Amino acid sequence: MNRLSRVSIAAFALAAGAALTGCVVAPVGPYYGEPVVTAPPPPQVEAVPVAPYPGWLWIGGYWTWQANRHVWVGGHWAAPRPGWRYVPHRWDPGPRGWREAPGRWERR
């Protein structure tokens, strides 16, 4: 094998290795909308800190379902999005349990 072939193979192996470094294998968790038998607890009271910039929107915390239990996710500030409004996270009761609907931005 000549020197050019060895350099080409080494360059290919290096490029393939670099491409695979961004791969992440994560376990499959619960999906939004799957029914949960246990109702979420009442929302926690949060102390809202001063906004980082004028006009920013406070997105309040919410309960989510992780590892078979409700887990509190604290609120945060978000930059305004002209022409959009924020629809808060919510839990909807149904015949088979509670369904989680994530918060989202939607056009006005």
76 three-state secondary structure: strand
Number of neighbours of residue 73 by Cβ within 10 angstroms: 14
Q: Position 16: which residue type?
A: A
> What's the CA gap between 10 and 8, in Å, rounded?
5
Residue 83 CB-half CA count within 13 A: 0
The answer to whether residue 98 scores a pLDDT higher than 80 is yes
> Are the beta carbons of 97 and 83 closer than 8 angstroms?
no
pLDDT given for residue 25 in this prediction: 43
Tell me the pLDDT tens digit for each residue of 8-46. 676 655 555 555 455 444 444 445 557 899 999 999 999
> Are the beta carbons of 88 and 60 closer than 8 angstroms?
yes
Where in the chain are the domains? Answer: 27-107
Average pLDDT over residues 76-100: 96
pLDDT given for residue 101 in this prediction: 94
